[in-house]
Amino acid sequence: MKSFKEYAREIILRRRQIRNLSEADITKNKEFSRSGLNRWMFSGRDPVNCSSRYYSSHFNVRHTGELTNKVLRNIPEFVKIVEVGPRDGLQNEKGIVPTAVKVELIKMLVASGLPVVEATSFVSPKWVPQLADAKDVMQEIRDINSARFPVLTPNLKGFEAAVAAGAKEVAIFASASESFSKSNINCSIEDSLIRYYDVVLAAKKLSIPVRGYISCVVGCPVEGKVPPSQVAYVAKELYEMGCSEISLGDTIGVGTPGTVIPMLEAVIEVVPIDKLAVHFHDTYGQALSNILASLQIGIATVDSSVSGLGGCPYAKGASGNVATEDVVYMLNGLGVKTNVDIRKLILAGDFICRHLGRTSLAKAAVALSKVNACVSKL
In angstroms, the Cα distances linking 84 to 6, 176, 274, 322 are 54, 20, 20, 10
Cβ-proximal residues to 226 (8 Å cutoff; 6+ apart), any chain: 176, 177, 216, 217, 218, 219, 220
Question: Has 312 been annotated as catalytic?
Answer: yes
Q: Which of 273, 282, 264, 360 is nearest to 320 (CA)?
A: 282
Contact 341, 304 (CB under 8 A): no
Are residues 141 and 149 in contact, defined by beta-carbon separation less than 8 angstroms?
Answer: yes
> How far apart are alpha carbons 33 and 19 in whole angstroms?
19
Contact between 199 and 231 (Cβ < 8 Å): no
Angle at the Cα of 100 from the Cα atoms of 169 and 369, rounded to 5 degrees: 95
Exposed, middle or buried by CB within 10 Å (0-12, 13-18, 19+), for 261?
A: middle
CA-wise closest residue to 278 among 270, 289, 269, 290: 290
Other Cβ atoms closer than 10 A to 139: 14
Sign of the torsion angle spanned by Cα atoms 250, 323, 131, 143: negative
146 touches 177 (CB < 8 A): no
Q: Which of 187, 312, 353, 374 is catalytic?
A: 312
Integer distance in angstroms from the first to the last C-alpha of the chain?
31
Q: How many CB atoms lie within 10 A of CB 356?
A: 18
Sheet order of strands, 116-117 included: 116-117, 80-83, 301-304, 276-280, 245-250, 210-215, 170-175, 151-152, 120-121
CA pair distance 247, 278, nearest whole angstrom: 5
Q: What distance in Å separates the CA atoms of residue 305 and residue 11, rounded to the nearest whole number?
A: 42
* Dist. CA 90–CA 321, nearest whole Å: 11
Q: Which residues are catalytic?
A: 312
